[in-house]
Amino acid sequence: MSASEAVVHVAFFPSASMGHLNPFLRLAALFIRYGCKVTIVIPKPTLTLAESNLISHFCSSFPNQVTQIDFNIIPVDPTTANTSDPFFLQFEVIRRSLHLLSPILSSLSTTLSACIFDFFFTSPLVPIVEKLSCPSYIFFTPGARILSFVAYFSFLAASDTAAQPRPSTFIGDVIQIPGLTSPIPRSSVPPPLLGSNSFQRMVVEDSHNLTKFNGILINSFEELEGEALTALNEGKVVKGLPPVYGIGPLRKCEFKNVDQGQRGCMSWILKWLDEQAEGSVVYVSFGSNIDTRREQIKDLALGLIECGHSFLWVVKLKRVDREEDEGLEDVLGSELMSKVREKGVVVKEFVNQMEILGHPAVGGFVSHGGWNSIIEAVLEGVPVLTWPQGGDQKISSECIRISGVGIWPEDWGWGSQDVVRGKEISNRIKEMMNNESLRVKVNEMKKAARNAADVGGSCEVIVKRLIEDWKKNIQANHA
């Protein structure tokens, strides 16, 4: 069998939540575009209806190229998982079930050419990938700056003199990561990593075990995070890391056979946007995993009303979409709610965010600073005002500040802390919407992002190189 005749078969194992599933499916679609056969192993039951719907649309769009396999996870007693967050509980349940994955992968009818796994499962995957006869990769869904921090985190822990790492001792006011010009402030470190707990220990362990894989894929590109990509690949951050592939920006999946009923609220959202002036609408969304605090909702509404722009506001009052939500009017009151409706549109359903960002009427994006949202905004040339709510979102927001494609009011703190008043929110939105130099920089980065994702761009070069390497492995195994 010649290398050109070999059929490349790639297995993907995503984690819970739309923030992980969405980029995984976009990555899978990218490899399908270049002729690969794909198997998606989906932990079941999924946590949200949005995840189930997305998987269904994806598989029905590629019926001849994609095989879906359900990975039935083992329920655990929530009290043993040390978390009340439904998404982190799902991560933990999947990690504890991973010993069941080997028989699934070994029973596939077509030999695997490569496996791509979510970072959250790095350590429990090590004994599994050691037995695989194909290369294995980690897909790190955030960006290169965050990966630099995570990779260096195990070094910080190892350098502590205590038997158990104590973040209060090994993290000072700032963390200077080798190879990065701008240090990471202590205030940007995800709060769970600042205390000795199971999540902190998991990240230390997973960080250390990144070296056991053949490569790390990230949804980023040179023009956005060139310094961090170079530092990672030249061994400046930590020695021994496998190659880090900036395989982004990942474009949205174009689903087939999706009728208007399945599109939910998107049809009337787009119709409303069609009626708005170009660049006049502020889009507000804090991601699929974050519920907006009741204490903050009123001031956010006041800020949107006062900013003077029409707005499209995606509101989440509960984290998991299988639960019944109370109405926004119950929180705001009828008088304030009527003012909201005069100026904008409120949505509680899951929306196609990239489709919204790509509409000409959208001129700015108020976001939690999740990496997927940042990449989508960059691809569509929309300025971003980030308001980190937790996790790695402050480090992502640092990328916004460093690259010049958005605004990050650092004094706002975490979204779970002090209430930011409506007047301040209004002023910052006006700053984002009226900053011409910001818009120029965003358009420059949009062009760079699309060049990276287009034919002949860095994304295509990397994908083709990986596929060729996998084909050579297949040929060698058949020799």
pLDDT, tens digit (0-9, with 9 covering 90-100), for 38-49: 999 999 988 888
Average pLDDT over residues 5-21: 89
How confident is the model over 428-449, as pLDDT tens digits? 999 999 999 999 999 999 999 9
- Range with the lowest mean pLDDT among 144-148, 179-183, 244-248, 250-254? 250-254
Average pLDDT over residues 152-170: 59
Average pLDDT over residues 405-419: 86
Torsion of CA 117, 462, 252, 20, to 10 degrees: 20
**Residue 467 and residue 403 share a domain:** no
**Residue 441 and residue 463 share a domain:** no
Give the max Cα distance, the chain. Answer: 75
Identify which of 440, 362, 396 has the alpha carbon closest to the alpha carbon of residue 219: 396
Q: Give the per-residue pLDDT at 149.
A: 94
**Residue 281 and residue 398 share a domain:** yes
Percent share of the chain, pLDDT over 90: 61
The answer to whether residue 64 is domain-embedded is: yes
Give the mean pLDDT of the chain.
Answer: 88
Q: Residue 25: pLDDT above 50?
A: yes
CA distances from 263 to 73, 109, 311, 461 (A): 29, 34, 21, 34
The answer to whether residue 43 is domain-embedded is: yes
Structure confidence at residue 133 as a pLDDT band (50, 70, 90) = confident
Burial class (CB in 10 A: 0-12, 13-18, 19+), 295: exposed
Q: Give the per-residue pLDDT at 50.
A: 85
Q: Residue 198: pLDDT above 90?
A: no
Structural Rg of the chain based on CA atoms? 22
- Residue 71 main-chain phi, psi, to 5 deg: -110, 100
**Residue 316 and residue 167 share a domain:** no
How confident is the model over 82-118, as pLDDT tens digits? 677 778 888 888 988 999 999 999 888 888 999 999 9
Average pLDDT over residues 333-356: 88
Q: Residue 196: pLDDT above 90?
A: no
Active site residue 20: yes
CA dist., res. 10 & res. 31, Å (int): 8
**Residue 459 and residue 443 share a domain:** no
The answer to whether residue 1 is domain-embedded is: no
Structure confidence at residue 318 as a pLDDT band (50, 70, 90) = low
Average pLDDT over residues 160-179: 65
Identify which of 216, 196, 212, 214 has the alpha carbon closest to the alpha carbon of residue 204: 196
- Range with the lowest mean pLDDT among 159-173, 263-277, 308-322, 465-479? 159-173
The answer to whether residue 88 is domain-embedded is: yes
Range of the domain at 37: 9-253+454-478
Cis ω on the peptide bond leading into residue 45 (within 30° of 0)?
Answer: yes
Q: Give the per-residue pLDDT at 349.
A: 81
Active site residue 299: no
Q: Residue 305: pLDDT above 50?
A: yes
Highest mean pLDDT among 154-158, 264-268, 469-473: 469-473
Q: Give the per-residue pLDDT at 330.
A: 72
Q: Give the per-residue pLDDT at 168.
A: 47
Which two tokens mark 386? 């980030």
Q: Residue 461: pLDDT above 80?
A: yes
Across the beta sheet with 344-347, what order do the strands follow?
Answer: 344-347, 310-314, 281-285, 362-367, 384-386, 406-407
Average pLDDT over residues 185-199: 83
The answer to whether residue 2 is domain-embedded is: no
Burial class (CB in 10 A: 0-12, 13-18, 19+), 200: buried
Burial class (CB in 10 A: 0-12, 13-18, 19+), 126: middle
The answer to whether residue 430 is domain-embedded is: yes
**Residue 127 and residue 17 share a domain:** yes
Identify which of 207, 214, 224 has the alpha carbon closest to the alpha carbon of residue 244: 214
Cβ count near 343 (within 10 Å) = 17
**Residue 160 and residue 62 share a domain:** yes
Query: Active site residue: 9, 20, 208, 359, which one?
Result: 20
CA dist., res. 273 & res. 252, Å (int): 20
Query: Active site residue: 118, 206, 321, 392, which one?
Result: 118
Identify which of 218, 253, 250, 248 has the alpha carbon closest to the alpha carbon of residue 54: 253
CA dist., res. 311 & res. 68, Å (int): 38
CA dist., res. 262 & res. 69, Å (int): 23
Contact status, residue 185 vs residue 105, Cβ threshold 8 Å: no
Give how many domains the chain has, as a whole number.
2
Cα dihedral across residues 108, 111, 116, 122: positive or negative: positive
How confident is the model over 220-243, as pLDDT tens digits? 999 999 999 999 999 999 999 999
The answer to whether residue 260 is domain-embedded is: no
CA dist., res. 291 & res. 269, Å (int): 21
**Residue 324 and residue 232 share a domain:** no
**Residue 239 and residue 331 share a domain:** no
How confident is the model over 274-298, as pLDDT tens digits? 999 999 999 999 976 666 777 888 8
CATH number at residue 128: 3.40.50.2000
Choose between 153 and 80: higher pLDDT. Answer: 153
**Residue 330 and residue 195 share a domain:** no
339: CB partners within 8 A, 6+ apart:
301, 305
Structure confidence at residue 165 as a pLDDT band (50, 70, 90) = very low
Contact status, residue 65 vs residue 49, Cβ threshold 8 Å: no
- Range with the lowest mean pLDDT among 149-153, 168-172, 439-443? 168-172
Report yes or no on whether pTM surpasses 0.85: yes
Average pLDDT over residues 61-76: 91
- Range with the lowest mean pLDDT among 162-176, 231-245, 457-471? 162-176
80: CB partners within 8 A, 6+ apart:
none
**Residue 285 and residue 199 share a domain:** no
Structure confidence at residue 424 as a pLDDT band (50, 70, 90) = very high
The answer to whether residue 147 is domain-embedded is: yes
Helix, strand, coil share of the chain (percent; to 5): 50, 15, 35
**Residue 439 and residue 463 share a domain:** no
Average pLDDT over residues 348-352: 84
